[in-house]
Amino acid sequence: MSAPASQILEALDAQLLARKAADAASSYTASLYAKGVDGIAKKVGEEAAETIIAAKNPDDAALVYEVADLWFHTLVLLTHRGLSSQAVLAELARRMGTSGHAEKAARSK
């Protein structure tokens, strides 16, 4: 049995934080941090596009793979900004039980 999602995210948060101090030549994640927010955001955009393409094809495994890449790179972006997956989980928890239409309308005001 695999670890609960919260444990996986916490471990990934810790690993991403540790990579901020790593040598960019020896760590892919550190090389992303070295590119700054623009480089990381560009990678998030690329992964989002790949996710969209995968969604339009019948291969579920490819879609899961691309979503994992997208999640990973968005977590790198969060960590770069001093945030963690916990901030996103807290926001999702805040939205639980709220209609998507109501939540969107509240943002407009």
Q: Give tens-digit pLDDT for 55-96.
A: 999 999 999 999 999 999 999 999 999 999 999 999 999 999
The pLDDT-based confidence of 106 (bands split at 50, 70, 90) is confident
Domains of the chain: 5-108 (1.10.287.1080)
Task: Give me the pLDDT at residue 103, please.
Answer: 74
Q: By 3-state DSSP, what share of the chain in percent is helix, strand and coil, each rounded to 5? A: 75, 0, 25
> How many of the other CB atoms lie within 10 Å of CB of 48?
16
- Using a cut of 0.75, tell me whether the model's pTM lies above it: yes
Cα→Cα distances 95→4, 86, 88, 99, 102, Å: 21, 14, 11, 8, 10
